[in-house]
Structure 1
């Protein structure tokens, strides 16, 4: 069996919003088996880089045996010059290819991917509602007041979620999101002004007041620096926070360790850390209690499993980062059901939007108790619909 062609599908054309526009691929073989993968650049500002990297790397694997995924990874890593340098776009492209190769492998052997990774360790996968600062509904809107944060959390709890994640600093008091507008009085670096601290705490307190049993995860998107991350954590640590995500620049293990040494809340990071090489200094300096690798960014299913096994050596828990389309969700579930150090699954607010869910054949969402189970179909158990493929921009590498 040989790789015959690769199709790159750009969802930006078929979705009515631009915040989350997945880039997916289909690797086609001369045996009639195709596998689907996803480039983890559905959000942020590297969309066309994601399209381009698969077109570049795809040319190098035409004619290779898709079952030899390790050999293909080594070729992309060792011989492309940029592969060994890594970075977001490079690893996102390699991730999509690796996921698609595992999908082919599962279909070829007529087995779900998780069985080939070692079988189930976790049958039910507890999920949390992620990014409730944008509400928890079919339409996003910026939450500003403490009452609005509580209402968003209530919606998630009514659906069975027992944990939520919130960025309490990302939306300024004006209602502006940090990436699109900087408010001079909403200072998150150096030293937080008292009014900022008070509003952030009030938002979190409003969520905590709903239930002492609800787990609250704080997401900071690295908007804070070392000083403000420590300042904030110590201001709210009585609210029983589950963990504290990306409090500082995601590739700085020294700053991350300084934060860990000066706060009581466990520290987490990982969506912007790539491959085992990237995670290594964080494991060695013991700065992270929870890692959050993205299967569509850190090197694919192969590399994610290796990262998770490496983490287990250091007693570090894993919450796979999921912030893309349904293929991203499915790929994450296969890794999470296998690994012994699984902590919780991320159900992103993007992932509950109807338009995004309808791009693929199967709809995997948490049940009424907030749990997910892994797909039992051969491969990753997810495919783009023909209707969606006909609506996207398609680039074919032959």
Structure 2
């Protein structure tokens, strides 16, 4: 079996409430008729067009190779492209997209779900948390500005059966605008401390003691502010303090040493070499590798196994198309150190759902692992008719 061509796809249809949302996906074809789909998880922020180009560049190197040789292909993409070694999000996103597609093909070839190829399914259902409630918890983005907005969103998620939620309490100012970096770094004045902590306190009171709260920060704050807020947040029993500062081992260690709160990091850490310092210094308790930008399934499984050596839990970062949801479920089903699954509010939006054939949504706070061959999802025709497609043969 040989790889015959690769379609790199940049979704062109921009949602009105999320103009920067641009998923980058691919389809890898073989001479047997089997194909696999993958994703470069750079759907937001700056870099999607670069990831689109990276897939095209890397695809040229795998034409004619056996798609079952995932380890061989990964090493080739990492070692023969110069910039991949010690690379960042774009090069690893390109590798990830192709690697995921190859695992999809491998599962279809052997007619088993990918979790079976990763060692077997350790669990049928995964506990989920409702993620990023500062954007609302509905079918479109509704930014939370007032305390009552945060309370309403939390109660809505809990009413649907979730017993864990995640909120960035420091994304929006009560006056109705998004905070800038100038306002969220260096030691905070009392007003801004109260903005964050009053929101957290209100949500804790609303959901009660039996619902886990993950306090998200997106690395918007620096290490000093992370300690300042973390000290105040302790009494509200947060499950994890996520991205409390820039993804840097020394800064993360500074925060970890100052606070007795579990730290989560990972959506902007790439490859096993990027994760190793955090494991070695004990500054991370939950890793959040994004399979679509950390190196694909081949690399993500190694990262999770390395974390297991240090008793570090895993929650795959999921914020892209439903392809990324499906592949995360495959990995999380198979690893012993799985902790919880992220169900991002973007998974509830129609403009995201229509990109893939299957729509996996939690029921009563748990999501079922797909048993279809491969990763368990595939792109719809919409992606090809409403996306910019470049074919590499």
Bin the TM-score by the shorter chain.
over 0.9
Q: Which residue of the partner structure matches residue 126 of structure 2?
A: 125
2:318 pairs, out of 312, 319, 322, with 322
> Tell me, what secondary structure is at the counterpart of 2:378?
coil
In the alignment, which residue of structure 1 is the partner of 2:4?
A: 4
Matched, 1:364 2:365: no
Q: Does 1:115 align with 2:110?
A: no
CA displacement, residues 13-47 of structure 1 (integer Å, 9 cap, x when unaligned): 36554343211100001111000000010111101
Tell me whether 94-103 or 209-218 shows the greater mean CA deviation: 209-218
What secondary structure is seen at the aligned counterpart in 2 of 1:143?
coil
Task: Please state whether the residue corresponding to 1:118 is helix, strand or coil.
Answer: coil
Distance in 1 of aligned mates of 2:176 and 2:209: 28
| 2:378 is aligned with 1:383 | yes
3-state SS of the aligned residue for 1:60? coil
Question: In the alignment, is residue 136 of structure 1 matched against residue 137 of structure 2?
Answer: yes
Q: Structure 2: where are the runs of 5+ without partners? A: none
Quick one: distance in 2 between partners of 1:143 and 1:101?
40
Q: Give the direction of change, closer, same or farther, for the CA distance of 1:364–1:340 in structure 2 (3 Å limit).
A: same
Give the 3-state SS of the residue equivalent to 2:28 in structure 1: strand
Report the counterpart of residue 36 of structure 1 in structure 2.
Answer: 37
- 1:286-325 aligned at under 5 Å gives the runs 286-325=282-321
Residue 262 of structure 1 corresponds to: 258
In structure 2, the partner of 1:229 is 226
**Which blocks of at least 5 consecutive residues in structure 1 are unaligned?**
none
Q: 1:275 maps to what in 2?
A: 271
In structure 1, what is the equivalent of residue 154 of structure 2? 153
TM-score (norm 1): 0.96
RMSD: 1.2
Aligned residue number for residue 64 of structure 1: 65
Output the CA distance in 2 between the equivalents of 1:31 and 1:18. Answer: 38
Give the conservation status (yes or no) of the 8 Å contact 2:354–2:382: no
**For 1:106-133, what per-residue CA distance to the aligned partner results, in whole angstroms no more than 9, with x for missing partners?**
0111110000101111222011111101
Distance in 1 (CA, whole Å) between partners of 2:317 and 2:288 is 5
CA contact (8 A) 1:15 1:21 kept: no
CA distance in 1, matches of 2:83, 2:319: 25
- Corresponding residue SS for 1:241: coil
How far is the alpha carbon of 1:248 from its aligned partner? 0.8
Aligned to 1:373: 368
**1:2–1:29 Cα contact (<8 Å) kept:** yes
State whether residues 122 and 340 of structure 1, in contact with CA within 8 Å, keep that contact through their aligned partners in structure 2: no
**Is the 2:74–2:298 Cα contact (8 Å) retained in structure 1?**
no
Whole-angstrom CA distance in 2 between matches of 1:277 and 1:176: 38
- Which is further off, 68-77 or 15-24? 15-24
Do the aligned residues in 2 keep the contact of 1:24 with 1:39 (CA within 8 Å)?
Answer: yes
Deviation by residue 1:322-352 (Cα, 9 ceiling, x = unmatched): 0000100000000000111101000011111
Which residues in structure 2 correspond to 1:341-360 (within 5 Å)? 341-360=337-356
User: Quick one: structure 1 residues 165 and 19, their matched pair in 2 at CA, closer, same or farther if it must change by over 3 Å?
Assistant: farther
